[in-house]
Structure 1
Amino acid sequence: MKYAQVGDSGLVVSRIIYGNAITHGDQVDESAAAGCVRAALDSGITTFDTADLYAGGRGEEILGRALAGVRREELVVCTKVGRWARPTDTNSGRLSRKHIAESIDGSLRRLGLDHVDLYQAHRYDAATPVEETVAAFADIVHAGKAHYIGVSEWPAAKITEAVRIARGLGVELIANQSQYSVLWRVIEAEVLPASRASGVGQLVWMPLAGGALTGKYRPGRSVPADSRAGATAGGAKSIGRWNYLDEKVLAAVADLEPLAAEAGLTLSQLAIAWVLGKPGVSAAVMGASRPQQVLENVEAVDITLEDELLRCVDAVLAPVVRSDPALTLDPLGPAASL
């Protein structure tokens, strides 16, 4: 494993972060989840990411139990607030002071912790002033319930604004969790430059495009029944909403295989090494349903891609890459409902 500081902060994370979106509490049972977490720990992963949204809170509960007994100082635990709208709670899914203050306590209870290392605002909430959101986060840091704050999928101008407000309140906003892969490059034009200028590091999610960059999905073929896209519990919806199973996308990905093979890499390793090699990217957040997937992902941290290979990758994927910075403003809508 290799490690990196997040942006300009002093926080050090493993370059592969174990994340449990969709898997824990949805697609894998708790014993399988615990096995993946153990494989992550054994491979040197120190950093774990979850959210109050995942599996309706069960994601935090399962992760907390899986990490029980591990020396707290050796872990970096991250969670998020926002986007989880309960039909009976009109304030849920927001980044208001009320919801943030209540949600941190719920997350800590489910995780079995007295603090998290990084607390993140899960998607930008245009209905709540940035000042209110950041002030609520600052109070959580000052109360000792979180060490650092971050955001997830925020537009460039709002990241810059939030960093300025946070520093005025004596706290550091250090991370933006953003979707980023060889197929999804919407942060490159605006978010990456603004983040680097403000000292904010990217913790990128979906670097394998929901599995489309592993080669498991083939153009013209049905998705494997045991794959994430073949699962009914969230996986198919998650991958399908980004068009990663489009025939043109899958055909382009298939054309990457000879390039990866020539370099002695799997498609997954090529895709992970690509994002980790980008300036401004501190780490990649990755889930797993089997321990072997964790081990293969970790191998990518030692890979440096040659310039010629990078040019060939760009040429192959150019027709299907999505790079419109407007897509940063959450094309999925303001909140996810249960």
Structure 2
Amino acid sequence: MEYRQLGRSGLSVPVLSFGTATFAGGEQEGSWGNVQVDEARRMVDLALDAGINFFDTADIYSGGRAEKILGQAVADRRDQVLIGTKANGRTGTGRNDAGSSRHHLTRALEASLNRLDTDYVDVYYLHGFDALTPVDEVLSTLDDFVRSGKVRYIGCSNFSGWQLMKSLSVSERYGWGRYVAHQAFYSLASREFEWELMPLAVDQGVGTVVWSPLSQGRLTGKLRRNTPVPADSRLAVPGETEASGDRETLYRTVDVLDELANETGKTIPQLALNWVLSRPTVSSIIFGARNEAQFAENLGAVGWSLDADQIARLDAASALTPIYPYWHQVVNNSERLPFPTSVIVQD
């Protein structure tokens, strides 16, 4: 298993991280999965055997039950694993049961530590940006967590460019812990991350931990022209997020993935995951699995690389028309604002 640095930090993480949204019934009434304790232990075994020691969860996954199952699954080997969890989402009905206030984050961290049955979290992410809480309150709280030893590193998730840059600036101003990772939605079916957040990550040394690198099932090969969505797919669940771009762009991308599958002998999901791993700033991608077969297939995404021509074909098929000001920069200033090529991770 290849390891990379998590942004501008000393922490090495595997390029594949195992996500636990499928634990305990998942979200959307179990549509994500229904992995219970015994199967979770088995998946942790498989992950560690493959060199994957980074596990991702959140306090809102199955109302906290996913954290509890993960804690039970790693109970006798906590020193062998890295755990990342998240807070900010709503965990109760009260006014202060959501967001990134000192009040909520303090209670959320203690609750997560209790469910995970651990003294510390390796990476603690904010699941989203809280515009109602001052950034200095948020970051001073997270810095206190780090200084207390309850959190090793801090990260954020689903921030916009200005929200992340402002946060990094506040950390620098006061000498507080800074976000070393940004957990972001990025795939061949949704490439807006490249417009603002990827250049920012290159410039500021923030590692990207990608969630939904298969775009919530759109890049599994199941979604095709003139083909109904499979009933067991997350895409069939009302309320699931529609990826960016139009369906024709997605179908064109899948056509190229089909061609490459024939050329390489790899599956469409393996190709889509491998493409993400080739991108600048990507430290790790989070994959989930409902069963061992899915787990094994995802492992096949590493240990090889697409060549330059294959990457270029996927880039061309999946390209999106940028919104302003990015289209203007591409047309008029691409010489001074080229696509990011610096990679902050180390192989």
- Residues 119, 299 of structure 1: alpha-carbon distance in 2 compared, 3 angstrom cutoff: same
> Is 2:29 aligned against 1:25?
no
**Equivalent residue number for residue 149 of structure 2:** 144
For residues 6-155 of structure 1, the aligned pairs below 5 Å read 6-26=6-26, 27-30=33-36, 31-70=38-77, 72-86=78-92, 88-155=93-160
Q: Which amino acid in structure 2 is aligned with residue 212 of structure 1?
A: R
The DSSP-based 3-state class of the residue aligned with 1:259 is helix
Deviation digits for residues 5-26 of structure 1, max 9, x if unmatched?
Answer: 1011001111101011255432
The DSSP-based 3-state class of the residue aligned with 2:209 is strand
Q: Which amino acid in structure 1 is aligned with residue 222 of structure 2?
A: K
**Equivalent residue number for residue 307 of structure 1:** 308
| Cα distance between partner residues in 2 of 1:4 and 1:97 | 32
**Equivalent residue number for residue 207 of structure 2:** 201
- Residues 228, 35 of structure 1: alpha-carbon distance in 2 compared, 3 angstrom cutoff: farther
Answer yes or no: is the 8 Å Cα contact 1:212–1:245 preserved in 2: no
Deviates more, 1:172-181 or 1:254-263: 254-263
- Residues 260, 325 of structure 1: alpha-carbon distance in 2 compared, 3 angstrom cutoff: farther
Gaps of 5+ in 2: 27-32, 326-347
| Cα distance between partner residues in 1 of 2:243 and 2:281 | 26
For residues 272-287 of structure 1, the aligned pairs below 5 Å read 272-287=273-288
How far off its partner does 1:323 sit?
5.5
**Equivalent residue number for residue 241 of structure 1:** 241
- Residues 322, 211 of structure 1: alpha-carbon distance in 2 compared, 3 angstrom cutoff: farther
> Is 2:184 aligned against 1:178?
yes
| Cα distance between partner residues in 2 of 1:166 and 1:117 | 19
| Cα distance between partner residues in 2 of 1:159 and 1:245 | 24
Answer yes or no: is the 8 Å Cα contact 1:156–1:195 preserved in 2: no
How far off its partner does 1:237 sit?
4.3
- Residues 52, 225 of structure 1: alpha-carbon distance in 2 compared, 3 angstrom cutoff: same
| Cα distance between partner residues in 2 of 1:243 and 1:193 | 21
- Residues 241, 228 of structure 1: alpha-carbon distance in 2 compared, 3 angstrom cutoff: closer
| Cα distance between partner residues in 1 of 2:244 and 2:163 | 28
- Residues 280, 60 of structure 1: alpha-carbon distance in 2 compared, 3 angstrom cutoff: same
Aligned length: 316
| Cα distance between partner residues in 2 of 1:325 and 1:289 | 39
Q: Which amino acid in structure 2 is aligned with residue 303 of structure 1?
A: W
How far off its partner does 1:42 sit?
1.9
| Cα distance between partner residues in 2 of 1:77 and 1:325 | 38
Gaps of 5+ in 1: 231-235, 327-338
| Cα distance between partner residues in 1 of 2:87 and 2:163 | 17
How far off its partner does 1:222 sit?
3.0
Deviates more, 1:97-106 or 1:303-312: 303-312
- Residues 200, 128 of structure 1: alpha-carbon distance in 2 compared, 3 angstrom cutoff: same
| Percentage of matched positions with identical amino acids | 38
| Cα distance between partner residues in 2 of 1:221 and 1:60 | 36
| Cα distance between partner residues in 2 of 1:20 and 1:150 | 18
| Cα distance between partner residues in 1 of 2:214 and 2:270 | 9
Q: Which amino acid in structure 2 is aligned with residue 3 of structure 1?
A: Y
Deviation digits for residues 213-232 of structure 1, max 9, x if unmatched?
Answer: 111233333333333335xx
The DSSP-based 3-state class of the residue aligned with 1:212 is coil
Answer yes or no: is the 8 Å Cα contact 2:190–2:245 preserved in 1: no
**Equivalent residue number for residue 290 of structure 2:** 289
RMSD: 2.2
| Cα distance between partner residues in 2 of 1:325 and 1:169 | 34
Higher relative contact order (CA 8 A, sep 6+): 1
TM-score for the superposition, normalised by structure 1: 0.87
Q: Which amino acid in structure 1 is aligned with residue 58 of structure 2?
A: A
How far off its partner does 1:265 sit?
1.8
| Cα distance between partner residues in 2 of 1:324 and 1:242 | 18
- Residues 225, 243 of structure 1: alpha-carbon distance in 2 compared, 3 angstrom cutoff: same
Deviation digits for residues 103-127 of structure 1, max 9, x if unmatched?
Answer: 0000000111110001011111111
Deviation digits for residues 163-199 of structure 1, max 9, x if unmatched?
Answer: 2333433423200000010111111111111122221
| Cα distance between partner residues in 1 of 2:7 and 2:275 | 18
**Equivalent residue number for residue 335 of structure 1:** none
TM-score for the superposition, normalised by structure 2: 0.84
How far off its partner does 1:2 sit?
1.0
Deviates more, 1:151-160 or 1:250-259: 250-259
- Residues 136, 322 of structure 1: alpha-carbon distance in 2 compared, 3 angstrom cutoff: farther
- Residues 76, 62 of structure 1: alpha-carbon distance in 2 compared, 3 angstrom cutoff: same
**Equivalent residue number for residue 233 of structure 2:** 227
